Structure 1
Amino acid sequence: MTSHWAQTQREGWLCDLYGKDSGDGTRKLPNKSVQSQLVSVLDNLLSGKSSPKESAAKTASLIMSQENVDIPWNNLLGLYLDAVEKFADEKDLKALVDYIVELASLPDAVNEGPETKTLDVGGKTLRIEPGQAVVFEEGTLWRDLPRFSSNVTESFQGPERYLTNLRPPVSPGVAKATWRNLNTYIALIAKSTDAQRIPVLARQVGLGLKTMAMALEYSPDTRLGKNIELHAPAAAQWLRIAGDEIDRLCRDGTQRMAIGDLWAGSGGSEVCDSARLQFWRARIVELGY
């Protein structure tokens, strides 16, 4: 599975963007390109050939070897989140969690010279001189994982996103599996003690509340409710993997989430409290999960 995934990345979008003419009318991603090497890092991580710590160190070395740090960092985020969505085995997803924790735990990235490095910030090119830290608009590399949260949020729109927004759209079965994988990954982050020490990762637990509400609060004649079979497995993963964390959030009662018609009909409000969690648990049992 890992080698197949790596091949699809090299022959797909990375080849389209960074491939070179092979002389026979075809394009190929050069093996020595930083993009191909980043694929190898994740491939080795997922196949167990390298540890999360080793993989994070190799990633940092590759990205900081480039003059423009922005491009390989964005490439990595794209590769990483694609792997999150493609891999269903919790062992693989746990390895991806451990890897991102190790990456965020590295010392702040600093241009060690001798050349100037660049970042694309707000449509402008920012120069990073030797000795300066690499700071994006969204924070410092590595501890703030710049753009990680915004990329996750963009993906976190429900399984319908995969049915309509992708070109070409995928089948309902693939959409269900992809949404389940993404939620399994975020639930594993919520469960990980190490991940919860990283502020940018600790904030992701609230996404579980969104998944629960979308999956369990809408009647069959609504846009979300008609796709309940695509949503419910992801909600079940949250309760199985990170049920204690969801319970803690609901006991606090500080989170709010848009309500579905079923919860509204039960007199519920936008507050995510213990009563709302009880409703979700009853619904997931009712649905057979």
Structure 2
Amino acid sequence: MEIVSSFCSWQDHLESVCTHQKSEGQIVTLYDISKDIFEDAIGPEEAATKIASFVCTSDDFRTAYLEVIYFIIGAANNLSEQHDLYKLVNLTLALSRLPDARNETRRTFQLSPDYKTSEIGPGDVIVVGEGKIWADLPQFAVNLGDSMYGPTAYISDGLAEHWAEQKWTNLNTFAAYLISGSDDTPYSFDYLYLYTFRTVTDSLEYDPETEKGIDSLHSLRSACRWITIAGEQIWTESMRSPRNAVAGPLWHRKYHADLVKSGQWGERSLITSQRWLAWASRLDELAGSNMIEDELKFMARSSAEMIRMFEREWVFDIEDEIQ
């Protein structure tokens, strides 16, 4: 579904979805449930339960399930307001916490995901493709990944520059909220860290005046969203587990001598506290430049401050544990 504006409210998005579903002769159950959740008429858990009921009672179970996944990913592409994306994430997380969907009929039926036929007997857990519904959210990661390929690629697909930047911001905001809220879910969203570090390094380790840095400023808002929404989780993950991201030229240039001297040049792609602090310095530089508007300058400064806070608190936590 294409973005029709750089700003898209949930009302606009749902109206577009409803129109499309009606044109395809589909039932608009998802529209009604989603409208309720965006209007705060029901919570995410109740909405998830209603969606599960809709899927499990459908004559075409697989199509109904995939319709839910496509709806969520489409909304993540289009919704521009942070609080709307937050509600969408809470719905996604609530779906992942639902009990396993089972064949509650007395008959065996067949599912054919990815051209492979599976027989689901009475009482069996229903599996679509690579996982169980709902705990494994099959097809979610694939479809989200298919959308997250960057502003320049969106522009190449025909989107105007500001629309491409907004779409990229929407998706990264959605992903950041997923990371920040996924501590108690059976489904692992760890693969999203790939997008975290790619987005941050693209934005903060490349010069926007160079060809390779063409997405630098387009990704800055997304980078700030990652830091301000899920920064604590991302920092902790990168300190506790080795995480890598291709090192950009600004990181090379600024810390080349230090890395060589310390014998760490071979580990330059690691996400270290030093690299985080380099991102904070770059955010300060951008905030003090005339390359970005005032709102984004504020976001950059806030993100830099948060990084330094993570660094201070992480050191304190380690010392506290030792004592």
What interval of TM-score do these two structures reach, taking the shorter chain for normalisation? 0.7 to 0.9
Alpha-carbon distance change, 126 to 68 in structure 1, aligned in 2, over 3 angstroms: farther
SS of equivalent to 1:287 = helix
Q: Which residue of 1 aligns with 2:14?
A: 6
CA distance in structure 2 between the partners assigned to 1:124 and 1:253 by the alignment = 36
CA distance in structure 2 between the partners assigned to 1:188 and 1:81 by the alignment = 14
Q: Which residue of 2 aligns with 1:180?
A: 169
Question: Of residues 50, 58, 63 in structure 2, which corresponds to 1:58?
Answer: 50
Question: Of residues 209, 216, 232 in structure 2, which corresponds to 1:244?
Answer: 232
> What do residues 56-85 of structure 1 show as CA deviations (whole Å, max 9, x unaligned)?
011111111123322122211111111112
Q: Which entry has the higher C-alpha Rg, 1 or 2? A: 2
Report which stretch shifted further, 138-147 or 153-162: 153-162
> What do residues 110-143 of structure 1 show as CA deviations (whole Å, max 9, x unaligned)?
0101444432233123232221110123211001
2:180 is the counterpart of 1:191: yes
Structure 2, unaligned stretches of length 5 or more? 1-8, 257-264, 288-299, 301-323
Q: Which residue of 1 aligns with 2:187?
A: 200
Q: Which residue of 1 aligns with 2:285?
A: 286
Contact 2:97 2:186 in 1 (8 A): no
SS of equivalent to 1:118 = strand
Code of the aligned partner of 1:214: D
CA distance in structure 2 between the partners assigned to 1:94 and 1:219 by the alignment = 32
CA distance in structure 2 between the partners assigned to 1:199 and 1:255 by the alignment = 22
> What do residues 72-113 of structure 1 show as CA deviations (whole Å, max 9, x unaligned)?
222111111111122222221221121112111111000101
SS of equivalent to 1:228 = coil
Q: Which residue of 1 aligns with 2:103?
A: 111
Question: Of residues 217, 220, 224 in structure 2, which corresponds to 1:229?
Answer: 217
CA distance in structure 1 between the partners assigned to 2:180 and 2:38 by the alignment = 20
Structure 1, unaligned stretches of length 5 or more? 16-27
Contact 1:6 1:40 in 2 (8 A): no
CA apart distance, 1:43: 2.5
Alpha-carbon distance change, 221 to 243 in structure 1, aligned in 2, over 3 angstroms: same
Question: Of residues 257, 265, 268 in structure 1, which corresponds to 2:253?
Answer: 265
Contact 2:44 2:91 in 1 (8 A): yes
SS of equivalent to 1:93 = helix
**TM-score, normalization: structure 1?**
0.85
CA apart distance, 1:259: 2.1
Question: In the TM superposition, what are the counterparts of 1:62-211 in structure 2 within 5 Å?
Answer: 62-165=54-157, 169-192=158-181, 195-206=182-193, 207-211=195-199
Percentage of matched positions with identical amino acids: 26
CA distance in structure 1 between the partners assigned to 2:211 and 2:184 by the alignment = 37
Report which stretch shifted further, 260-269 or 127-136: 260-269
CA apart distance, 1:199: 4.5
CA distance in structure 1 between the partners assigned to 2:77 and 2:92 by the alignment = 15
Q: Which residue of 2 aligns with 1:25?
A: none
Contact 2:89 2:174 in 1 (8 A): yes
Contact 2:86 2:174 in 1 (8 A): yes
CA distance in structure 1 between the partners assigned to 2:150 and 2:52 by the alignment = 32
Report which stretch shifted further, 141-150 or 82-91: 82-91
CA distance in structure 1 between the partners assigned to 2:245 and 2:112 by the alignment = 34
CA distance in structure 2 between the partners assigned to 1:215 and 1:173 by the alignment = 16
Q: Which residue of 1 aligns with 2:34?
A: 42
Contact 2:98 2:135 in 1 (8 A): yes
Code of the aligned partner of 2:54: L
> What do residues 34-72 of structure 1 show as CA deviations (whole Å, max 9, x unaligned)?
4x2123222221222221111101111111112332212
